[in-house]
Amino acid sequence: MEVVKTEPVDIRCELDDVDMVQKPVEVRYLGHTFPVELMSCPVCGQVYIPESLRNKMREVEETLENK
């Protein structure tokens, strides 16, 4: 499966006050796994999901729920 890449953004983790770094993560929903490169905190692992990807994820979620 192709890894979805997002544009890196200059963002900091509010919990750890460190710069987030872009890295591959797996998004899982209803038994499906989607590899995505997202901004993630190197300390706590919190992930930033940009609005454009959130909208795409919402569309996929609605499609999967309707099946």
pLDDT reported for residue 47: 93
Residue 31 has a pLDDT of 82
Q: Taking the model in full, what pTM does it have?
A: 0.69
For the chain of 67 residues, list the mean pLDDT of each consecutive stretch of 10.
67 95 86 88 94 83 80
Per domain, the residue ranges of the chain are 4-66
pLDDT at site 32: 80
Beta strand pairing call for 32-40 and 21-29: antiparallel
**Domain spanning 4-66, CATH class:** alpha beta
Quick check: 21 and 10 in contact, CB under 8 A? no
Read off φ and ψ for residue 14, nearest 5 degrees: -70, -30
pLDDT of residue 20: 95
pLDDT for 1: 58
Each residue of 11-20: b (16+ CB within 10 Å) or e? eebeeeeeeb
